[in-house]
Amino acid sequence: MEISSQHFQVSDVRGRILDVLDLESPGGQRILVVIGKGGVGKTTTSILLSLVASTRFKTLIMSIDPAMHLAEYLGLGDAMGRFVHVKGNLWAYQLDLDRSVRDLAESYTMHVRDLLPSLKVLNLDDVIDIMKNVPGLEEEVYLRTVREATMRDFEVVVVDTPPTGVTLRVLTLPRLYNLWLGKLIELRERIVALRYMIARTLYGEREVRDRALDKLYKLKDHYSTLEKIFTSPTHTSYILVSNPEPLPYTEMAKAMDYIARNLNQKPKLLVMNKVSLAPSTSIHHLGGDIMRVFCSLQFPKMVIREAPKPPSTLSDIESLLDYVDLSFCEESLPRL
Amino acid sequence: MAEGALRRFLGNIVSFIRAQVEGFKEGSVSAIRLEHNELEAAFLNMILGPLVGVVTGVPPIISLELLAELGDEVRYLESRAFRGEDVIGDLFSTLSSE
């Protein structure tokens, strides 16, 4: 009887989490971006949410965190950089950042190899040697990886991200790139128009094609799609994770402010992980004011109590559902 | 005889008018060509700059994406730099020579 009661509670928690995440709302594929300071339990939370989502939707848990904890939890080993079936409706993808950055740098090198003699004359041949260290290359890999996931037939994609600073920069890069692409397109269109005028005046009717302009349009399309994805509440939701400690909480607050200002988004769910709730625990032991401030935030909240042993496998994480509390702020906190 | 002279005369007039038209066309595009070349040089400067440490603001990743599509322009810049016609090409050679 006790077991069935526990099962009832767990399935109830699953249902409540699904309600909070609101994955049924229109907009096609849903992306959950899990953000937090290094070590707060982003991967654990991401897997937990993926497991819940996969009870109803075809779900991908994707980690672009270079720490590669997802690979360890799921024992992906050599399967990094591939879409791997985990169980039921759940699939996983662990980005191998080093390899992807190297591959991207090599692809750029291949593209400009024909230009090498000219680049040498212009003393630009060093560009090829330093390509893999060019600023923005890692971020481009993150963006491409997320874009690839959005083009697949997953109904829910949960993205486990690198530490907060990198993630927030990546999320706003498409907008920055679009600003520059808009300016470059304007300039290039003027160049092509002048080229057309010259060709038409001297040689009569003529079609002027410009590969650079075509490429600029293509890039604009790519980054506009990403910008729309990241800023659309019907497509992407942000889950912020913290521990009841000052630095992780400060980072959560900053991330909340950043996504509000730059992505015009509110967090879908705030997660406080590793909350110790031993019988003798007082509000002071819980991190004092942090929990009170956390509970005062006007967003859905989820507390994950500290388990007796840290999770190290998929089933450990699944069993964390027993430690999830969605009513902590309304029920447990007032009693402390 | 008179007819042949008339034909030559008319032919010369036609050639003269054609030459005038061509000259007019060349003249009319020279200003456009100048603007085109300067804008092209400015564009290349913006794109290639970030790759050699010249801060133009353009994200380097966009420069890398575009570089492969600018083969003709880069070769043209190279030839202008060789002929000493282009200060921007020279600037690049100077900036990267250390």
Distance from CA of A206 to the nearest CA of B (A): 15
Contact A191 B40 (CB under 8 A): yes
Chain A: residues touching B (Cβ < 8 Å): 108, 111-112, 114-115, 118-119, 121-124, 126-127, 131, 134-137, 139-140, 173, 176-177, 180-181, 184, 187-188, 190-191, 194-195, 197-198, 201-202, 211-212, 214-216, 219
A vs B: CB pairs below 8 A: 119
A243-299 pLDDT, tens digit per residue, is 998 899 999 999 999 999 999 999 999 999 998 866 555 555 555 678 888 999 999
**CA nearest to B79 within chain A:** A118
Across the strands, what pairs with A267?
A238
Residue to mutate among A108, A114, A121, A126, with most B CBs inside 10 A, is: A121
Contact B81 A118 (CB under 8 A): no
Interface confidence, given as ipTM, is 0.82
Quick check: helix, strand or coil at residue A82? Answer: coil
pLDDT interval class at B68 (50, 70, 90): confident
Contact B92 A124 (CB under 8 A): yes
Beta strand ranges found along A21-175 (DSSP E): 30-36, 59-63, 84-87, 90-94, 156-160
CB atoms within 10 A of CB A239: 25
Angle at B80 between CA A215 and CA B23, to 5 degrees: 95
pLDDT beyond 50 at B94: yes
Residue ranges of domains in chain B = 2-95
Describe chain B by its helix, strand, coil percentages, rounded to 5.
Answer: 85, 0, 15
Contact A118 B78 (CB under 8 A): yes
Facing A127 at nearest CB: one of B51, B59, B93: B51
Facing B58 at nearest CB: one of A123, A180, A195: A180
Torsion of CA A93, A97, A102, A104, to 10 degrees: 60
Contact B32 A197 (CB under 8 A): yes
> Which of left, alpha, beta for A5 (phi over 0: left; psi -120 to 50: alpha)?
alpha
Q: Rounded to whole angstroms, how far apart are CA atoms A46 and A54?
A: 12
Question: Which CATH architecture is the domain A10-327 placed in?
Answer: 3-Layer(aba) Sandwich (3.40)
Distance from CA of B80 to the nearest CA of A (A): 11
User: Tell me, what's the pLDDT at A27?
Assistant: 59
Would you mind telling me the total number of residues written for chain A in this entry? Answer: 336
Contact B43 A115 (CB under 8 A): no
Q: Rounded to whole angstroms, how far apart are CA atoms A144 and A97?
A: 12
B39-60 pLDDT, tens digit per residue, is 988 898 888 888 777 788 899 8
Answer with the residue of higher pLDDT: B93 or A208. Answer: A208
B5-37 pLDDT, tens digit per residue, is 999 999 999 998 888 888 877 777 888 888 888
